[in-house]
Structure 1
Amino acid sequence: MKIKIFLVLFILLVSKIEAQNIAYPKPRNHWVNSNLVNKDWLYLEVDSETIPAENDTRYQSIDLPHTWNSKDVLQTKDYRRAGSWYRKHLYFDTEELDTRKFLRFNAAGQEAKVYVNKESLMHHMGGYSAFTVDLTKHLKKGKNTIDVWVSNAPNASLAPISGDFNFYGGLYRSVELISAPKVSFSRNYYGGPGFRIWGSEVSSNKANINLKAILDNFSDKTTHVTIKAIIKNKKGKVVSKGTLDIKLNSGKSISANVPMSLMSNPELWSPETPYLYDVDIKLFEKNKKLDAVSTKLGVRWYEFTVDKGFFLNGKPYKLKGANRHQDYFAKGNALTPETHLNDIKLMKEVGVNWLRLAHYQQDDYMLQLCDELGILVWEEIPYVNNTPKNKDFEGNLHTMMKELIEQHYNHPSIILWGMGNETWMSDRGDGKASNYDIVKGLNALIHREDSTRKTVFVNGDNNKPIDFGVVFIPDVFGFNLYRGWYRGEYNSLTERLNELHKLAPNVPLILSEFGVGSDERVHTENPQKQDFSIEYHNDYLESHLEQIDKLNWLCGVNYWAFADFGAAHRGDTKPHINQKGLVTFNRKKKDAFYLLKSKWSKEPVVYIESPFWTERSGNSRKDIRVFSNMKEVELFLNGKSLGKQNNTFVWTLTLNKGKNTLKAIGNTNGTKREHQFVVNYKKNRAKYAISASSEDGGHNAKHAIDGNLKTKWQSGNSSEIIIDLKKISLVNGVKIAFDENELKTYNLNIEGSVDKKTWMSLLSGKSNKRAPINTFLFKKQQEIQYIKILAKGNNKDAINSYLEIIPITTFEKAEKNLYEIIGAGGR
């Protein structure tokens, strides 16, 4: 079975920007007469739905974008989920009030109420889509006060109910003040641009162009208007045009289809050649121009198949992608255009040609960048995990989907509309899933609203959507398979994918998520599942890429995730962060970034694993791996060549004591790349390091961790001992061998820390004076690097005397959090 799609789509532009005059694509507003009003807002962190007084002095001055969760999500799982107030003063003279005025909020997390001069105008539900407020009849000459209540408090009627990501609060995207004549293209239909333009029967020979516009007549008279549209190629030649005369009744809005001429031999859009046409659409009354919008047009077609993969413009095409959350370290989701641009640049560098915007509608500028720089897109609504049994929840899902489609319809990069991710399913009693009707309703809605694109739904690593019929609803289905992280081994991916393909033979499938957590500070020569080491990340990814490359029937893959992202409930090696990214939360490239780049990018790559691991010990014989896509790589140790390779790029070498310089040089037909760094080697490097408050009697503190029960560390009165585990580790407790000659009761407090700055209490109690070796188990396994032992000495003479202190560490997590359980198919 083949799913064929003929599609021509457009990006909205405010003005034409010549590429040679800009360093990067600048964000474009939807309308010429639109201005950002991000400066000089007031913010009040008060959880009340009563509008604060005009003279309330508690407000603080801020600029947008803004979130109140940029810091607390990094410190606690119980981050602020409540309401706050924003205020903005706008001033208008008499002439300005003669035109219609709108405020367009590009997002407010997670719901918002807008007031103008104390008058309630809108209550918007949904934290990721834009919404437009018509101010026209509510403004006055001079000063006008805009009050906006925003809340990210839990709401049983609003998706997402839960998820493995943070629900940030605030006006975290731009706000636009828009003007329009009384007769104009619509400014506020589901927050969209007021028109759609698309193609049918697209091929390399022709494209039929269709234009649909929504017109508003808010004047006091009926009028006749003319819509004129032209499409030009990059040389300025008109390749299609259309005209429509139409009658507009006073006080009414109307939808109109403008007939467009056939486009011959179109330049086809693709990630490799993202060709865009210029489009101008104008509205006239007689010969007087009333309104205008400018757009960009991309022409292409594509198809998903069940047995041959994905096709773009009639040719087989490998969809090599990632998933992207929109937040950034210490900024939350209040991002600048530069941050979005940097993410796209990194994705293009690594070789990504398609992107899943998970798990919600993202900034319009991201879509503009994908259109102009060339990345195919899958965008979705935030239907994740829970499905409350109330009609308001389902109604809000439908509104979110309509807003998503209306606002982003004109982006040629988008190829799929996503309806949800890993929703929890059970049998409703007739063999269908408990949320079967919701998914079916969303699927029907999308096809009514957009006949040019296809639908997709996503599940975790279980067969419930197949058993309960959900897999057969959308046009394409995605499975999130974390083989080798949450369940099974990473070499079982092929077997699982083939099994799913056999169970749903008529459904095009996508590997929508796969990945593992990693920490650039954690390294090992014995990588194991869930150890968060860079080396396990590399082994896992290399195996998955080899397996995926052999499955030609698979329509596409999306690595999870492009970047580490905020998940306040998590307690991994970096607490409050999901660490499965190719880059860190602040966009520092991990080894896996270069490994993937060597497989997916045509840009020459040479990268030695791993420049983060500069202190090494143990056996001096080491296997050194190089990630490269070049024909030949030569490795050097301290300036001496270890030979050239042209296949596996793995060398076995012997490190010298002390400083070692590793350098790799790649060569392909005279094109060279190189990478080098310094490794310090010491055969017997201490497993732990120790510091203590005092060292009485000439005994060094290191005797407490030297593995010798005949040596000791001793101090008088109170003591503080800090053990550095050298890396963030899974710690279940501590064993302490006390000096038998001083074997009395000790009052101990044990604390743990990741960064040696913020400490958490792990245990408080007394030692057993009858046992020379005491085992202190924590109530809960901890992921920490530092252990602090505080003692006031024994109960006889206040002496602290320790023969050995042994942290109880492990590679196995004792307790899985909610999302690890889901990932393993346990719910």
Structure 2
Amino acid sequence: MQQTTRYTRLLTLLAVCLWSPALVSAQVSFGKARLMNDNWRFLHIDSTQHIYEQPEMKDGDYDDASWRRLSLPHDWSIEQPMSPDKGSCQGYLPGGIGWYRKVLPAEGAKGKRFIYFEGAYNYSEVYVNGHLLGCRPSGFASFMYDLTPYLRADGRNVIAVRVNHNQENDSRWYTGSGIYRNVWLIEAPEVHLAQWGTAYRLTSINNKRAVVEVDIETTDERPDKTSLPLKAIVKLIDAHGNTVATGSTAIKPQEKKTVRLTINRPHRWNLDDPYLYTLTTTLSAHDEEIDASTVKAGLRTLDFSADKGFALNGKWMKVKGVCLHDDAGVLGTAVPKEVWRRRIQELKAIGVNAIRMSHNPHAPELYDLCDELGMLVMDEASDEWEFPKRKWLKGWNKGVPGFQGTYTYFEEWIERDVADMVRRDRCHPSVFMWSIGNEVDYPNDPYSHPVLNGNGTDFTQPAYGGYKPEQPNAERIGRIAERLAKVVKAIDTSRPTTGALAGVVMSNETAYPGAIDVVGYNYTESRYDIDHERYPQRVIYGSENRHDMEAWRAVRDKEHIFGQFLWTGIDYLGESGPWPARGSSAGLLDLAGQRKPSGWYRAALWSDKPVCFIQMYPLHRDNRTHGQQRVTCFTNASTAQLLIDGKPVDSQMQRDEQTDMPYWDIDYRGGTLRCVASNGAYYEIPETKAPHALRLSTDSVAHLFVEVVDEQGNVVRQADNEVTIRMRGAQLLGLENGNMMDPTVNARTQKNRLRVLNGRLVGYFHKAKGAEAVITATAPFLQSAEIKIQ
């Protein structure tokens, strides 16, 4: 009999908008929120420049007038020059210590004041008027502190934040340094809705009716805790502004209650139609409203089966996922929401339908975008548990590794970090799995087990030798997994727990796979059938996978494997090769968010729209652009035709056995290449002349696209001209060409000049409200370009 585990849930989108603080009160689910990103003072502690810490930097009356003025989010590591004496794991960029200070707005209405940080990397200490509010080691956790007891009724109040990234090689990839996400000031009465206290359960749904249970928690921060009758009212509003369900309950301070809603003709959230309701919760005392929360809500069901895989809203499907880190090249980890929007839209156009948040919780607005655009999310808690992993310093898998890491605070903080991830993100319809860890079972890095001695088992990842009894025993992994899965289940039972297993053969000897609901296999497609037969109740998928056709066939052709997550969706900083590599080129998109050939190949495999793309490369090294060339085509059509200047080539189409894609070997002597697929898609590579001019375009929000073109307006892909950008009425945040081997890409040292790569680069800007922006681009010997944004 088929074993199926059913997870159904009403989820909500926390409506967070980077540019409009009036819409963001829902993120903490109580109070009134005000964005606190502007007018911070910053000092980077740098002993080489004789800048040292002073104890009084935390005090309210400290003189910070000489400090740099900036706006958040901010990543100071990306502003520093790369250096070969830094760790390759961090993209050869430094960490260090940074201080931030800001004067709070004047005291508002009576009540409580809180400060909420979406994330600060890492080991942050937050002070107000010299009083320590708290410390948070994790650079990925969101956290909040109560300011009220230490605020001055008269005079100014100063927030000071110390961020300590002195262990600059504490991660296997680039993390950035500083307050790299948004900061909010929250005002609320002493009795209010609880932080992250609103949750939703979809108990039943069909085409006629859905039943939803809404959990509401209240918090009482009054000293006397006297009796206070409260009433909570919840309303569900459709996309047209009509109230479709309402309910209420009496509730006490510091209590949790459930309200039941019934929705007629419910509209499901799905990937092609990510429909979102609005859910409002108001809290009243003596018929007077004292607090409120507004969130976006989506209804959908999840099914996981050991035999049939995964179904969304009852429809069995393949998860076509990618792993993502949270940097964006020259921007580091301080990435505006609209940059993420463009990146997700491009991944979705390729055919991607899921994102794995590798390997930690990401910025809240990224989840909002996945809710809005229709993308599944695998949320992940951590990359490291109680012992450190190898951190490569001279290039990935090169030389002697370091062992700094987040393991130093694991025992004290991991349960809270996991719980906070689940409480913060459980209201997103996009989130469909909770991952408690990534590759914590890497063989001999650090855990070991006698099974590593072989006995006929196969490993597809390095085991660093056989069994090493001096290493921690792998059985410890199972006990930790059981502990963390229990933390998740205490908060949310609507989604499965999972983990990304690197050493499946070793972990099979432990309690780890049995502690989680769904088991992810990293690069271990060879175990899919073996373990499906050996563990028939186990739900298996590829949690991290190569880009090759063989890995995809292992998903496509096996009903019981529900999907894969490619490593990676976008190129990222860190985990670099030898100097001067900035990061990893494993993505479908480059650092500038531009689609790579690998992205076109994946679109040919995954997209349900007609796809055609061609690239040409010499069959012999001495033939660069003319002579014997191979033209490969990435298409989802059954056949394709290649033409030069409108005439079919003499060569016969062949099909590559590894990629399952067509190609032609031709004698190319010039002309425009054009490939026409049988499904109507086509792609053209014109023969270009010398670089002649610059061309600008923009989405008017955050991106500037720069191209070097010839006299006919064709992009000159061989061009590497240095371009200078000037802006009036807008602020240039950085220029990115996507070149992984260009250590000069730096927003502060490079400023407004950068060489194009393949004839293109992307600029990121922030436009001043109400002003006309004028952007110009110049380059020696080329016609300049100008664009105006109203």
TM-score, normalized by length of structure 2?
0.73
Q: Compute the displacement of 1:74 (Å).
A: 4.4
**What residue in structure 1 maps to residue 150 of structure 2?**
138
**Unaligned runs of at least 5 residues, structure 2:** 46-51, 88-92, 389-405, 441-445, 451-468, 690-717, 719-739, 746-790
8 Å contact 2:247–2:260 — kept in the other structure? yes
8 Å contact 1:74–1:568 — kept in the other structure? no
**What residue in structure 1 maps to residue 357 of structure 2?**
357
8 Å contact 2:352–2:606 — kept in the other structure? yes
Code of the aligned partner of 2:609: E
Q: Does 2:250 match 1:241?
A: no
Alignment of structure 1 residues 663-682 onto 2, 5 Å: 663-666=674-677, 668=679, 672-678=681-687
Q: Does 2:636 match 1:636?
A: no
Identical-pair percentage: 23
What SS is found at the alignment partner of 1:463? helix
**What residue in structure 1 maps to residue 511 of structure 2?**
469
Inter-partner Cα distance in structure 1 for 2:589 and 2:82: 18
Q: Compute the displacement of 1:205 (Å).
A: 4.7
Deviations 1:677-728 (A, max 9, x none): 4399xxxxxxxxxxxxxxxxxxxxxxxxxxxxxxxxxxxxxxxxxxxxx9xx
Q: Which moved more, 1:577-586 or 1:71-80?
A: 71-80
Residue from 377, 402, 421 that aligns with 2:438: 421
Distance 1:427 1:201, change over 3 A: farther
Distance 1:55 1:649, change over 3 A: closer
Inter-partner Cα distance in structure 2 for 1:43 and 1:756: 25
**What residue in structure 2 maps to residue 451 of structure 1?**
493
Distance 1:611 1:296, change over 3 A: farther
**Unaligned runs of at least 5 residues, structure 1:** 156-160, 249-253, 483-492, 516-539, 681-725, 727-752, 759-827
Q: Does 2:268 match 1:268?
A: yes
What SS is found at the alignment partner of 2:301? strand
8 Å contact 2:41–2:64 — kept in the other structure? no
Inter-partner Cα distance in structure 2 for 1:106 and 1:113: 14
Alignment of structure 1 residues 373-522 onto 2, 5 Å: 373-384=373-384, 387=387, 392-423=409-440, 424-427=446-449, 433-460=475-502, 462-481=504-523, 493=525, 495-515=526-546
Inter-partner Cα distance in structure 2 for 1:640 and 1:616: 26
Distance 1:455 1:756, change over 3 A: closer
What SS is found at the alignment partner of 1:399? helix
Q: Compute the displacement of 1:58 (Å).
A: 4.7
Q: Which moved more, 1:424-433 or 1:275-284?
A: 424-433
What SS is found at the alignment partner of 2:422? helix
Deviations 1:471-512 (A, max 9, x none): 221101111117xxxxxxxxxx4x443234344332111111
What SS is found at the alignment partner of 2:382? coil
8 Å contact 2:15–2:295 — kept in the other structure? yes
**What residue in structure 2 maps to residue 128 of structure 1?**
140
**What residue in structure 1 maps to residue 105 of structure 2?**
91
Distance 1:649 1:121, change over 3 A: closer
**What residue in structure 1 maps to residue 203 of structure 2?**
200
Distance 1:267 1:49, change over 3 A: farther
8 Å contact 1:613–1:679 — kept in the other structure? no
Inter-partner Cα distance in structure 2 for 1:201 and 1:365: 29
Distance 1:564 1:41, change over 3 A: same
Q: Does 2:611 match 1:589?
A: no
8 Å contact 1:11–1:410 — kept in the other structure? yes
Residue from 165, 172, 175 that aligns with 1:164: 172
Code of the aligned partner of 1:171: I
Alignment of structure 1 residues 502-581 onto 2, 5 Å: 502-515=533-546, 541-567=548-574, 570-571=577-578, 575-581=581-587
Distance 1:65 1:620, change over 3 A: same
What SS is found at the alignment partner of 1:467? coil
What SS is found at the alignment partner of 1:599? helix
Inter-partner Cα distance in structure 2 for 1:432 and 1:400: 23
8 Å contact 2:611–2:635 — kept in the other structure? yes
Code of the aligned partner of 2:231: T
Q: Compute the displacement of 1:218 (Å).
A: 4.0
Inter-partner Cα distance in structure 2 for 1:362 and 1:757: 27
Code of the aligned partner of 1:650: P
**What residue in structure 1 maps to residue 713 of structure 2?**
none
Q: Does 2:631 match 1:624?
A: yes
Code of the aligned partner of 2:269: W
Code of the aligned partner of 1:110: N
8 Å contact 1:621–1:652 — kept in the other structure? no
Deviations 1:371-399 (A, max 9, x none): 11101110011233762698952231111
What SS is found at the alignment partner of 2:42? strand
Deviations 1:238-276 (A, max 9, x none): 33221112343xxxxx13213223334422211112121
Q: Compute the displacement of 1:645 (Å).
A: 7.6
Q: Compute the displacement of 1:607 (Å).
A: 0.4
What SS is found at the alignment partner of 2:246? strand
**What residue in structure 2 maps to residue 104 of structure 1?**
116
**What residue in structure 2 maps to residue 521 of structure 1?**
none
What SS is found at the alignment partner of 1:142? coil
Residue from 668, 673, 683 that aligns with 1:662: 673
Q: Which has the higher contact order (CA 8 A, sep 6+)?
A: 2
Inter-partner Cα distance in structure 2 for 1:215 and 1:106: 22
Distance 1:754 1:319, change over 3 A: closer
Code of the aligned partner of 1:470: Y
Inter-partner Cα distance in structure 2 for 1:465 and 1:511: 15
**What residue in structure 1 maps to residue 729 of structure 2?**
none
Deviations 1:592-611 (A, max 9, x none): 10111122122322100248
Q: Which moved more, 1:45-54 or 1:1-10?
A: 45-54
Inter-partner Cα distance in structure 2 for 1:438 and 1:677: 58
Give the total of aligned pairs.
625
Q: Compute the displacement of 1:466 (Å).
A: 0.8
TM-score, normalized by length of structure 1?
0.70
**What residue in structure 2 maps to residue 214 of structure 1?**
217
**Rg: which structure is higher?**
1
Deviations 1:119-169 (A, max 9, x none): 1111122111211111112111331111111112339xxxxx954312321
Deviations 1:333-355 (A, max 9, x none): 01111121122111211111111
Code of the aligned partner of 1:382: S
Inter-partner Cα distance in structure 1 for 2:419 and 2:550: 40
Deviations 1:758-778 (A, max 9, x none): 9xxxxxxxxxxxxxxxxxxxx
Q: Compute the displacement of 1:312 (Å).
A: 1.5
What SS is found at the alignment partner of 2:648? strand
Q: Compute the displacement of 1:358 (Å).
A: 0.4
Distance 1:403 1:154, change over 3 A: same
What SS is found at the alignment partner of 2:328? coil
The alignment's C-alpha RMSD in Å is 3.4
Q: Which moved more, 1:541-550 or 1:59-68?
A: 541-550
8 Å contact 1:8–1:297 — kept in the other structure? yes
**What residue in structure 2 maps to residue 113 of structure 1?**
125
**What residue in structure 2 maps to residue 709 of structure 1?**
none
Inter-partner Cα distance in structure 2 for 1:73 and 1:309: 47
8 Å contact 2:120–2:179 — kept in the other structure? yes
